[in-house]
Amino acid sequence: MTKPNAITALGPVGQLAYLPSDFDAAVKYWTETMGVGPFYLLPNVALGDCRYKGKPTGAVFSIAIAYWGDVQIELIRAENQEPGIYTGEYAVTDCLHHICIFVDSIADARAAAASAGAEILVEGKVGEDGEVIYVDPGAGPGHVIELLQNMTGADGIFQMIKDAGKDWDGSDPLRVLG
């Protein structure tokens, strides 16, 4: 019997994230073909105290979020070429880029990542009191795991996005959050 991985023991996958080569086409695919939406766009996100492989980076990206049942779908677009997982070797496009596990404690997430022998690729602050790490558990690009301790208020925003998709009529498929 295989020993459970310390990272997967943190909780279930809450998000599937993609880095499409054509952001608008990806929104169209998910909304029109898959019926997932509406997507909410958070433009020009920059993590606080962001580090990529231990070094400061000014990576900026935009994300669009919708729900497919209980699973969040995230579409990502790099807004600059600063080092990070959306540029360079980890910028795999048009397939699953990473999954996200929402955690209660970033300290526990760090401990689980260390126990699993995972390399921390990106770490940063989310809002006033949230934190995130993106780790490579050993399989390389396309197999990144995001471990996110949400900032205060994020659960309400995520619930609003989820609720918007319950009886969505297909109108206004990409909405700016803010």
> Residue 2: helix, strand or coil by DSSP?
coil
Q: How far apart are CA 142 and CA 99, in angstroms?
A: 9
Is the pLDDT at 4 greater than 80? The verdict is no
Name residues whose C-beta falls within 8 Å of residue 68's C-beta, 6 or more positions apart in sequence: 34, 36, 165
Is the pLDDT at 85 greater than 50? The verdict is yes
pLDDT of residue 41: 98
Is the pLDDT at 2 greater than 50? The verdict is no
> Comparing 6-10, 51-55, 91-95, 132-136, which segment has the lowest mean pLDDT?
6-10
Q: pLDDT by residue (tens digit) across 105-164?
A: 999 999 999 999 999 999 999 999 999 999 999 999 999 999 999 999 999 999 999 999
Residue 122 β-bridge partners:
52, 134
Q: pLDDT by residue (tens digit) across 26-78?
A: 999 999 999 999 999 999 999 999 999 999 999 999 999 999 999 999 999 99
Q: Look at the alpha carbons of 164, 172, 80, 92 in this order and tell me if their dihedral is positive or negative.
A: positive
Q: How far apart are CA 97 and CA 60, in angstroms?
A: 17
